[in-house]
Amino acid sequence: MPVDVLVGLQWGDEGKGKIVDVLAPTYDVVARFQGGPNAGHTLTFDGIKHVLHQVPSGIFHPHIINVVGNGVVLDPVVFRVELQKLTDRGVDWAKNLYISKKAQLILPSHRALDRILEEARGGGKIGSTLKGIGPTYQDKIGRTGLRVGDILLADFQDRYNEAVARHATLASFHGQQLDIEQAEADFFSAVDFLRTLQLADTEYLLNDLLRQGKQILAEGAQGSLLDIDFGTYPFVTSSSTVVAGACTGLGIAPRHIDKVYGISKAYCTRVGSGPFPTELHDEVGEQIRAAGREFGATTGRPRRCGWIDLPALRYSIMLNGVTEIHLMKADVLDEFDEIRICTHYQNPEGEETNQLPDLGDLQTMKPVYTSLPGWKVNLQQINSADALPKELKDYVQFLEAQLEVPISIVSVGPDRVSTLHMAETVA
């Protein structure tokens, strides 16, 4: 059986967790392939909001095997807290959760370094979540990192001490100390807890499941425009957030990839620094933020808000080979008389392009908009795609024509039941 992949098409926060939760019942396995506790996947059902950071979003379905892949960077302290919250809510995760021995460990010194390095950037801050993600991936690429499997070794403490010594030296270059003594106590307690879980060579596990005919959904974190290679560098995350990252982050061959679900909001948001061509600095942007409750699930930071950006979406669709789009949070635009869509960019010379340029050129681009009438309907009261207002159907058709990819799902509210399948409509 093939592997289907779910990726964000914008700067993250598109609603991937909800879609994984909705799609999960049709899969045997949900596998997270990159990122760490900088991600916040929000799921809402039965009137209760759940936020996952490192645990795959299939964990609420008891029949599903959940895998934390080798491409993930894992903070044992955050992981333990997540699992405890799941236990408190009656979720029995113990039998169907596996963690790759090759996943990198986030150490207390990584988190300290993240803060020190971000402060050292002064006015050029990246907008880090300060969760230790960047320094951990730096150690991974520098071949000095510690992996989950290392906690099973007799000399783990020595390896840990060597890593912290290196980090202390780096901190001293910036005239600072790590100050992690208190955090270390929580870390080693969480490591003891981590040793009790199912630590596995998950690349073998996943390929064995494929041979058994099991259906796998690969779950990405962040968004394609934050990809370390193809995002708005240097204002990006530290991992491969596109479909290719699923292969290296799980140990599966490209030939197994089938469907690619691209997740996009009906508008656009961004957290942290970096270019954002359609960002709104007016009351319209504030209205979108308020209606969408646009505050980071991990950091609580207010998200920057703007209209949907088609050049950026075309770019992400190209990189990922998207086969269908899921359009999220359409209900946030319920009150607008008109909906604006950025179809092109215009450079200072007046030339237009529908491609996403590199950072230097992107910062000089102005969005070129077209407008469609708003629907002025409370979408959260609609439970059938056939019942959607004509104006929203027109909006969906316009996006499909521009992006040349079908929109198969439109989300009209936070709950899992507010997810409308479009196959039988918009014709």
Binding-site sequence positions for GTP: 12-18, 40-42, 303, 329-331, 411-413
* DSSP output for 178-242: ---HHHHHHHHHHHHHHTTSEEE-HHHHHHHHHHTT--EEEE--S-GGG-TTTSSTTSS-SS--S
| 41 in active site | yes
Q: Which of 53, 102, 110, 140 is catalytic?
A: 140
**Strand, coil or helix: what is 99?**
strand
Q: Which of 4, 13, 114, 309 is catalytic?
A: 13
154: left (phi over 0), alpha (psi -120 to 50) or beta: alpha
Sequence-distant (6+) residues with CB within 8 A of 400 are 325, 406, 407, 426
| 131 in active site | no
Strands 324-328 and 304-306: unpaired
Nearest to 278 by CA among 348, 370, 402: 370
Cα 14–chain centre separation: 8
Known binding residues: 12-18, 38-42, 129, 143, 222, 237, 297-303, 329-331, 411-413
- In angstroms, rounded to a whole number, what is the distance separating the alpha carbons of residues 203 and 213? 16
Known binding residues for IMP: 13-16, 38-41, 129, 143, 222, 237, 301
Known binding residues for Mg(2+): 13, 40
- In angstroms, rounded to a whole number, what is the distance separating the alpha carbons of residues 347 and 400? 26
32: left (phi over 0), alpha (psi -120 to 50) or beta: beta
Q: Give yes or no for a contact between 279 and 285, defined as CB atoms under 8 angstroms apart.
A: yes
- In angstroms, rounded to a whole number, what is the distance separating the alpha carbons of residues 155 and 319? 42
Q: Which of 41, 53, 110, 393 is catalytic?
A: 41
- Helix, strand and coil percent figures for the chain, each rounded to 5: 35, 20, 40
> Max Cα separation, the chain?
66
User: For residue 7, which phi and psi values (nearest 5 degrees)?
Assistant: -135, 155
Known binding residues for substrate: 297-303
- Apex CA 23: angle with CA 214 and CA 67, to 5°? 50
| 53 in active site | no
Q: Give yes or no for a contact between 227 and 38, defined as CB atoms under 8 angstroms apart.
A: no
Nearest to 35 by CA among 4, 65, 78: 78
Residues with a catalytic annotation lie at 13, 41, 140
